[in-house]
């Protein structure tokens, strides 16, 4: 949807419009000035001057990456215990064995909020910030959140596998492996989907292409340290962990 989709913006009383401005810090000064008027009186006049769009029945959301670099640097120093003069050191996240406590680190949500608010005040004018009802700062992901994301991606994969009458699930070792290679407390969970594709989907696709799906058998994944168990009727397809040579 664009901001010029008048019908969806104005919507109706029972179904308010939803407007999203993604990464608003990248908007031009003209856009910010236009938003000031929208947030103030709920109206926007298009460039031609022949149409006015009413935002008074719309929910307006804005996202921003302001302060992300500072948060990442803060995480580097606080989470990994590094100073700027020290070389970076690779450390495991350990979200699997230690649960949420492993992510309950010294950087609290209150510290994050104050840091973000400071950067927002530097990036936007007081007039703009004062017209925003609520500013929500997202916290660091917990172990439970990471697990839920992995399970959601696996559910999508299993839906695609239904036509093969196949179902995939991860044991605890595989789940921990995916978390370790696909998640970093400093950068969030963006790499989780890539990790699942590389370590789950591609080996599974190779297996399905190389084997008759109705035959019960075992196979070893020679390249990935991963455990997969799939079920087809009463037959089991298994990827077993292999030792590095």
Q: The domain spanning residue 221 has which CATH number?
A: 1.10.8.60
Give this prediction's pTM.
0.62
Which of helix, strand or coil describes residue 58?
strand
Q: Residue 215: which residues within 8 A CB-CB, separation 6 or more?
A: 235
Is 171 domain-assigned?
Answer: yes
Task: Give me the residues of the chain with pLDDT under 70, please.
Answer: 1-5, 7, 11-14, 49, 75-108, 186-187, 211-245
What is the pLDDT at residue 200? 84
What is the pLDDT at residue 134? 92
What is the pLDDT at residue 61? 94
Residue (of 141, 106, 229, 226) closest to 176 by Cα position? 226
> What is the C-alpha to C-alpha distance for residues 173 and 150, in angstroms, rounded to an integer?
14
Total structural domains within the chain:
2
Is 13 domain-assigned?
Answer: yes
**What domain range is 172 assigned to?**
143-240
Is 25 domain-assigned?
Answer: yes
What is the pLDDT at residue 218? 37
Q: Count the neighbouring beta carbons within 10 Å of the beta carbon of residue 155.
A: 9
Is 16 domain-assigned?
Answer: yes
Residue (of 229, 203, 205, 202) closest to 218 by Cα position? 229
What is the pLDDT at residue 222? 33
Is 219 domain-assigned?
Answer: yes
Q: Residue 66: which residues within 8 A CB-CB, separation 6 or more?
A: 25, 116, 119, 120, 123
What is the pLDDT at residue 221? 39
Is 226 domain-assigned?
Answer: yes
Is 177 domain-assigned?
Answer: yes
Q: Which one of 62, 88, 110 terminates a domain? A: 62
């Amino acid at each position: 949807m664009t901001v010029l989709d008048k019908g969806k913006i104005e919507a109706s009383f029972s179904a308010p419009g939803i407007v999203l401005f993604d990464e608003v810090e990248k908007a031009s000064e003209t856009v910010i000035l236009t938003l000031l008027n929208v947030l103030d009186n709920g109206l926007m006049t298009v460039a031609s001057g022949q149409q006015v769009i009413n935002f008074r029945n719309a929910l307006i959301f804005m996202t921003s990456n302001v302060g992300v670099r500072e948060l990442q640097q803060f995480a580097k120093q606080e989470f990994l215990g590094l100073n700027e003069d020290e070389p970076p050191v690779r450390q495991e996240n350990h979200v699997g064995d230690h649960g949420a406590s492993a992510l309950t680190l010294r950087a609290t949500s209150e510290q994050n909020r104050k840091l973000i608010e400071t950067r927002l005040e530097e990036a936007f004018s007081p007039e703009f910030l004062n017209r925003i009802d609520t500013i929500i700062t997202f916290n660091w992901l917990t172990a439970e959140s990471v697990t839920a994301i992995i399970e959601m991606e696996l559910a999508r994969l299993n839906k695609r596998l239904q036509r093969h009458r196949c179902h995939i699930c991860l044991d605890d070792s595989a789940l921990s492996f995916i978390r370790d290679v696909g998640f970093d407390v400093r950068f969030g969970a963006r790499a989780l989907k890539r990790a699942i594709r590389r370590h789950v989907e591609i080996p599974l696709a190779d297996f399905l292409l190389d084997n008759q799906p109705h035959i019960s058998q075992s196979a070893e994944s020679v390249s990935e340290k991963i455990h997969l168990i799939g079920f087809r009727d009463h037959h089991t397809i298994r990827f077993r962990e292999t030792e590095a040579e």
